Structure 1
Amino acid sequence: MPSELGSLARKLALPYYEDALPAHDIFHAKRVHDVALQLADQHPDSVDREVLAAAAWLHDIGRPLERAGKIDDHDEWAASEATTLLQRKDVESDRVAAIGHCLRAHSIRASSPEPVTAEAKLLFDADKLDAAGAVGLVRLACIVGERSGSAGEQYAVIDVSSTLDGERSELPDIDLIRAWARERLDSLHTEPGRHLGESRWEFMQFFFDQFTHETNVESGQ
Structure 2
Amino acid sequence: MAQELGPLARELSLPYYDDALPAHDRFHAERVRDLAIRLANDCERPVDNDVLAAAAWIHDIGRPLERTGEIDDHDAWAAAEAAARLESEGVAPDRIDAVTHCVRAHSIRASSPEPETLEARLLFDADKLDAAGGRGIVRLACIVGERSGRQGEAYAVIDDASASELAASGLPDVALLREWVDERLDALYTDPGRRLGESRRQFVDDFFARFENEIGVDGTQ
TM-score range, shorter chain: over 0.9
Q: Residues 216 and 157 of structure 1: is their aligned pair in 2 closer, same or farther, counting only changes over 3 Å?
A: farther
- Give the distance between the partners of 1:200 and 1:60, measured in 2 at CA: 23
Q: Residues 216 and 191 of structure 1: is their aligned pair in 2 closer, same or farther, counting only changes over 3 Å?
A: same
TM-score norm. by structure 1 comes to 0.93
Query: Counterpart in 1 of 2:99?
Result: 99
Q: Alpha-carbon deviation of 1:153?
A: 3.2
Q: Residues 167 and 42 of structure 1: is their aligned pair in 2 closer, same or farther, counting only changes over 3 Å?
A: closer
Report 1:1-221 matches (<5 A): 4-161=4-161, 163-164=163-164, 168-218=168-218
Q: Alpha-carbon deviation of 1:45?
A: 1.5
For structure 1, the 5+ residue unaligned runs are none
Q: Residues 108 and 133 of structure 1: is their aligned pair in 2 closer, same or farther, counting only changes over 3 Å?
A: same
- Give the distance between the partners of 2:48 and 2:206, measured in 1 at CA: 36
Amino acid of the structure 1 residue aligned with 2:177? I
RMSD (Å), alpha carbons: 1.7
Amino acid of the structure 2 residue aligned with 1:207? F
> Conserved in 2, the CA contact under 8 Å of 1:131 and 1:181?
yes
Amino acid of the structure 2 residue aligned with 1:92? A
Percent of pairs identical after alignment?
64
- Give the distance between the partners of 1:146 and 1:131, measured in 2 at CA: 15
Q: Alpha-carbon deviation of 1:157?
A: 1.2
Q: Paired residues, what number?
A: 217
Deviation digits for residues 133-164 of structure 1 (CA, Å, limit 9, x no counterpart): 00000000000000004344335311134655
For structure 2, the 5+ residue unaligned runs are none
Deviation digits for residues 168-209 of structure 1 (CA, Å, limit 9, x no counterpart): 312232110000000000000000000001101111111000
